[in-house]
Amino acid sequence: MRAPLPASSRLVVFTLWLLVFGASSQIMIISPILPQIGEQLGVPEAALGTLVAAYSIMVGIFAVLSGPFSDAMGRRRMILVGSGVMTIALLSHVAVGGYFTFLAARIFAGMAGGILSGAAVSYVGDFFPPDRRGWAVGWVMSGAAAGQIAGIPLGVQLAEHLGIRAPFLGFAVVMAGTFVLVLTRLPRLNDQRVPGRVTLASGFRGYRSLLQRPGVAWGATGFFLMYLGLSLFVVYLPVWLSTEHGATANHISLLYAIGGIAHVIAGPFAGNLSDRIGRRVLILASCLGLSVVMALTTTLITALWISFPFFFVVMALLAVRVSPFSALLIGLVEDDRRGSLMSLSVALGQVGIAVGSAVAGLLYAGRGYGSNTVAGAVAVLAMGLVVWYLVPENASRGPLEHVEAVSVTEGLE
């Protein structure tokens, strides 16, 4: 029987949860308010998509660059830097006056997002022992689902009544609160430090050696396939529901809120279960179920109301694989390489989103949404098989015994 975790561990989880909630909410709010951005700032429809693309590109670039620094400087410092920069970046949205200033603000936020990429999950791997990582990752990542349930509807209302700058100001307050919690309450760990000065060349040499380790390259490939399949399936789902079943904007908002509830319920449960029965078996079971459900989407949804319980099941199955997969990844390497691995995986995930979104448009225009669901199902099944056959379930020992107390006066030291 596992010993209960101390109260400080739950405060760590809450701090990282708040980080994920704020960071993910400021990403997700863009799509629902794009029409208002275009109207209030006079941005042409054709240019609105670049606001999303610019953020993703910067996240991918800075995720790769920040990984080695995360390993060298320690996770807490990177979270401090990232949350501080994100707070300033979100505050900069208050001053936007047109397309180019808004684009600059999104690029700035993307840089901060890249710095933060994988930081929360990496810290979980540093702080918690292997038999608690699934539980912790499940709760931390439920912050994204909470943003989907509460953060996005609130942000949409703020944009509608106070203007498009208001949601970003609200999320800046959340990130500022996160910064204070990290500074005053998040323990500093005695991480291994990468010897020598970190440079661009040494960073890429580190990535090359990292990818030569058993299962690491395939684990990163699994991360790419996870987001590829998701984007192939999700991007045009609202369009199809609107065209075929008359879904309105309110229907779509409700759909994603229901999906967020499913994630909040299933994510922590799956993470905790993976600590007991193993990660890979849950990932494979989730991918098998999800691939079948995805492929049958257009057959099963014969009326709009069916899409709500259907999407609940889809998001629950997604959550069942996310928490165990993240916990599996952070167990593949030692503490001093974990930041690099998660940053590389996040960057590949951004590539998966970009590729999936582009291919989804071609499939939808050429063959209809049914082809999107089949392509998404194939990518999901491929991820499950890659993880099952090619990614070992190695659990490195977590360094709870190396935690040092941190006080307000220690700051960035």
Q: Give pLDDT tens digits along the chain (413 positions).
A: 555 566 578 899 999 999 999 998 898 787 777 778 888 888 876 677 677 778 888 888 888 888 777 777 778 888 999 999 999 999 999 999 888 999 999 999 999 998 887 788 888 888 888 888 888 888 888 888 888 787 777 887 888 788 889 999 999 999 999 999 999 988 887 544 544 566 666 667 777 877 788 788 898 899 899 988 988 888 778 778 888 998 876 787 788 788 888 888 888 888 888 888 888 999 999 999 999 999 999 999 999 999 999 999 998 998 888 888 888 887 888 766 777 787 788 788 878 877 887 788 788 888 889 999 999 999 999 999 999 999 988 644 444 444 433 333 333 33
Q: In one letter, which amino acid is 157? A: Q
Q: Is 404 helix (H, G, I), strand (E, B) or coil?
A: strand
Q: Are 149 and 260 in contact (CB under 8 A)?
A: yes
CB 38 within 8 A of CB 48: yes
Of 340, 13, 70, whose CA–CA distance to 186 is shortest? 13
What pLDDT, on the 0 to 100 scale, is given for residue 412?
32
Sequence-distant (≥ 6) Cβ neighbours of residue 173 within 8 angstroms: none
CATH class of segment(s) 10-410? mainly alpha
What residue has token string 């503490």?
Answer: 335
The residue type found at 38 is G
Euclidean distance between CA atoms 111 and 122, whole angstroms: 18
Gyration radius from the chain CA atoms: 20
Q: Please tell me the distance from the alpha carbon of residue 160 to that of residue 156, in angstroms, as a whole number.
A: 6
Pick from 163, 161, 152, 162: nearest CA to 249: 152
What is the CA 309 to chain-centroid distance, rounded? 23
Annotate 331-354 with b (16+ C-beta within 10 A) or e (fewer): bbbebbbbbbbbbbbbbbbbbbbb
Q: What 8-state DSSP symbol labels residue 165?
A: T
Residue 96, helix vs strand vs coil: coil
Q: Which two tokens stand for residue 275?
A: 């600590």
pLDDT value, residue 249: 66
Do the Cβ atoms of 13 and 133 come closer than 8 Å?
no
Residue type, 357: S
Q: Which residues contact 316 (CB under 8 A, 6 or more apart)?
A: 262, 263, 265, 266
d(CA 104, CA 114): 15
The angle formed by the CA atoms of residues 400, 401 and 403, to the nearest 5 degrees, is 70
What are the DSSP calls for 119-153, one per residue? HHHHHHHHHS-HHHHHHHHHHHHHHHHHIIIIIHH
Report which residue type is found at 230. Answer: L
CA–CA gap between residue 323 and residue 266 (Å, rounded):
9
CB-based burial label for 390 (10 Å; 0-12, 13-18, 19+)? middle
Pseudo-torsion of CA 90, 31, 260, 286, nearest 10°? -110
Q: How far apart are CA 352 and CA 218, in angstroms?
A: 14
Q: Is 149 left (phi over 0), alpha (psi -120 to 50) or beta?
A: alpha
Residue ranges of the domains in the chain? Answer: 10-410
The values of phi and psi at residue 403, to 5°, are -75, 135
Write out the two tokens for 231: 């984007």
Q: Which residue has the tokens 């629902």?
A: 32
**In 3D, which of 340, 352, 361 has the Cα closest to residue 226?**
352
> Nearest-5° angle of CA 60, CA 65, CA 69?
135
